[in-house]
Amino acid sequence: MTRPTKTLTRADALIEAGLARPERLGELEQVAARYAVSLTPDVAELIDPADANDPIARQFIPDAAELATEPGEAADPIGDDAHSPVEGIVHRYPDRVLLKLVHVCPVYCRFCFRREMVGPGRRRALSRAALDAALDYVRAHPEIWEVILTGGDPLILSPRRLREVMRALADIEHVKIVRVHSRVPAVAPGRITGDLVRALKASGKATYVVLHANHPRELTARARAACARIVDAGIPLLSQSVLLRGVNDDPATLAALMRALVECRIKPYYLHHGDLAPGTAHLRTTIGEGQALMRTLHGRNSGLCQPTYVLDIPGGHGKSPIGPTYLHGVAKAGVGTTRVEIEDFNGRRHVYPPAGAM
């Protein structure tokens, strides 16, 4: 397939690029009328049109299943609105806030938990007045230690705009950490220029970039080079991934993704259970399936490759770890002694402390 030279944002463009069959035009247009569509050339190039179950296509090509809303699915599945004191700010946890700078992305994931809030037809970015009010909120709350730039995708901003925000945060004494969540290094690696990387730095603050990637094929040579530009500039990279049915919900793919990230000097941070966003049921796994996959990672892959499996509790109650437990019972074994059963990575159980130990 010839590599597209432009970002694909329409149903007919997907068909012209050979990424979808012509008979699917009607369903693609129906989905695109409701939820934003965008595939960068780097993403489009990864898709194998001959594979009906291609894991990259499954993340970015619209599917008629998105038009079905299941019970429990909601426009704001993780409850951002309940914790938004001013436009652009989400203050859910005491020591950190989200600062949602933009409402657009270079690509639109079919499972996005903010899919009702991002894309064409929405405001592209915070207005100057809204940004000033958001920064004033941060200044007025000394408990805020970390500011997380998100959206949308903040790295879609120009280096000039990004630099302005970072300089404003640099002037807030109690903010010590700036974290940037982005897909850009993988889906539009050409945007990671030296100028943009320099713009990510804030004097006196520690900057972290968290890359969203869900499949090892996303870490192309261009993506790896973009990530290297960030890391070589002294900015640590972490990752977050979403557990997705038909994309990374098998042991080999999940392990390959985590290893590929670590090879790029990216520490796996979160593996998210799929949120209850409208029209995403076909992509969600069960928690039990996710826990089983985490067990396969444990002990068989380096500790560097272990993300924390988390669920954002619907209603705005925050993230909780939901990985498997290896503690299987607590029993008294005499005065002042408690013994537990611990499961090893092979599934065998061991009493701790062992008999005879203090």
Q: What are 21's two structure tokens?
A: 């069959």
3-state SS, residue 333: coil
Q: What is the pLDDT of residues 30-55, one digit of tens each?
A: 999 999 999 999 999 999 999 999 99
Q: How far is CA 57 from the centre of its chain?
A: 17
> Alpha-carbon distance 252 to 258, whole Å?
10
Predicted pLDDT at 334: 62
Predicted pLDDT at 289: 98
3-state SS, residue 199: helix
Predicted pLDDT at 330: 73
Cβ proximity of 32 and 62 under 8 Å: yes
Cβ proximity of 287 and 322 under 8 Å: yes
Predicted pLDDT at 358: 57
For the chain, list residues with pLDDT below 50.
none
> Alpha-carbon distance 267 to 24, whole Å?
39
Q: Return the bridge partners of 241, or none.
A: 271
Predicted pLDDT at 329: 79
Predicted pLDDT at 333: 61
Q: Return the bridge partners of 341, or none.
A: 351
Q: What are 184's two structure tokens?
A: 């850009």
pTM assigned to the model: 0.94
Q: What are 149's two structure tokens?
A: 């730039």
Q: Return the bridge partners of 93, or none.
A: 96
Q: Are strands 206-212 and 177-182 parallel, antiparallel or unpaired?
A: parallel
Q: What are 227's two structure tokens?
A: 């990530």
Nearest to residue 97, comparing CAs of 181, 164, 12, 215? 181
Residues with catalytic roles: 92-93, 96, 105, 109, 112, 114, 275, 312, 319
* 186 phi and psi angles, rounded to 5 deg: -95, -40
How big is the CA angle at 172 (ends 169 and 176), to the nearest 5 degrees?
75
- For the chain, the straight-line distance linking the first and the last C-alpha, in angstroms and rounded, comes to 67
Predicted pLDDT at 239: 98
Q: Where are the beta strands (DSSP E) in the chain?
A: 89-93, 96-100, 146-150, 177-182, 206-212, 237-242, 266-272, 308-313, 318-321, 327-332, 338-343, 349-352
CA dihedral sign, ordered 206, 90, 213, 308? positive
